[in-house]
Amino acid sequence: MIRKISLVLIFIIFSKVPLLCASENSEINLSKRVEEAGITLYWDPLSLSGILEKNGHKIAFQSGNNFIVKDYLSIEQGTAPYVKDGELVATEGFFLSAVNFFTQSSENSFSSSKDLNMYKVGAILIDAGHGGRDAGATATHDFNGKKVTVYEKDLNLKVALSIYELLKKNYPEKKILMTRTTDVFLDLEKRTDIANSVRLSENEAVLYVSIHANASIISSASGFEVWYLDPNYRRDVVDSSVSEDKTLLAILNSMMEEEYTTESILMAKFITEGMSEQVGTLTSSRGIKAEKWFVVKNAKMPSVLIETGFISNKKECALLCDEDYLQKLSVGIYNGIKSFIIHFERSRGFTGSR
């Protein structure tokens, strides 16, 4: 996601603050308490990071850190929530401070309809994997006595174009883009550059969806899967121009990266569900997966890679060569993107799974 960020740095000097009473230092089950208070908790157990959200305001944290980030505008020292005995816990003091922050922020913010739509998806970039001299996976099968060679790059382009048309028709106010619309070669760096160069207004996000097909030496392998970037891979997502403080940049970048990861996971979840609903029992879902070699690992935005099926499997390859089936896949992916957009814009800029 591309966002313009202004920073207000707030440090609480503990030597000047009275010691918290015992009750404020006591541990609480954070999930239970925030639910009772009407606060939404987004928690990613892979990266051990989370966000508390209410009325569009957010407190971001990572287990084990001694700071939290409020609305991506201020950083405060203090013990962040942490995992203990398999549960997410926090101090009573942290919880009371969070409740106070959300109460005050709600009273002072979102006074206009413009504020109520703080973040929105401004652009969606559909990437048709491979192309030109890069055919991707290939497979030759005997269909009705005729040998047919199938190239992944062709299937990717068909699905990508279909998704593009659906998005263009239903989201005329958004920028719907493609990395390629013909059989041309683009290296991975070029695809990422296209994604990162999309011009957006303030508080707009861009989504990156890369379309691929699978292959395996095991001919029986089948099904579709959706990938996102392994949270253990780190990239710079905050422009260094926002601050000269390198330590602050590292902290803020870590927080923003966690949000991209969580958003990507949720987008992958919605797309997986959309595809499953459309194809029914024709094939199966192989689930949501993470990998460090992810094709868009340098894209500074929520990103997913979709493997539509295995062309090495004769039965599934026949499906992938069928126009009606490809349309089902395209509609499923479109529905998943649509669900993600609805969730993203209703939550005013943050999405995640509890």
Closest of 74, 136, 82 to residue 105, by C-alpha: 74
Could you state, in chain order, the average pLDDT of each consecutive group of 10 residues for the chain (354 residues)? Answer: 40 38 78 90 74 81 81 77 90 91 72 51 93 94 94 97 97 95 89 81 85 94 86 48 49 53 83 95 88 52 88 96 97 95 70 37
Q: What is the pLDDT of residue 256?
A: 52
DSSP one-letter string for 250-269: HHHHHHHHHHHHHHHHHHHH
For the entire predicted model, the pTM comes to: 0.67
With tokens 């106070």, the residue in question is 100
Q: What are phi and psi of 181, to 5 degrees?
A: -120, -5
Q: What is the pLDDT of residue 258?
A: 54
Going 154 to 158 to 159 to 164, the CA torsion angle's sign is: positive
Q: What is the pLDDT of residue 192?
A: 75
CA 168 – CA 154 distance, rounded (Å):
21
Q: What is the pLDDT of residue 274?
A: 96
Q: What is the pLDDT of residue 79?
A: 85
Q: What is the pLDDT of residue 59?
A: 87
Q: What is the pLDDT of residue 352?
A: 38
CB 298 within 8 A of CB 193: no
CB 43 within 8 A of CB 50: yes
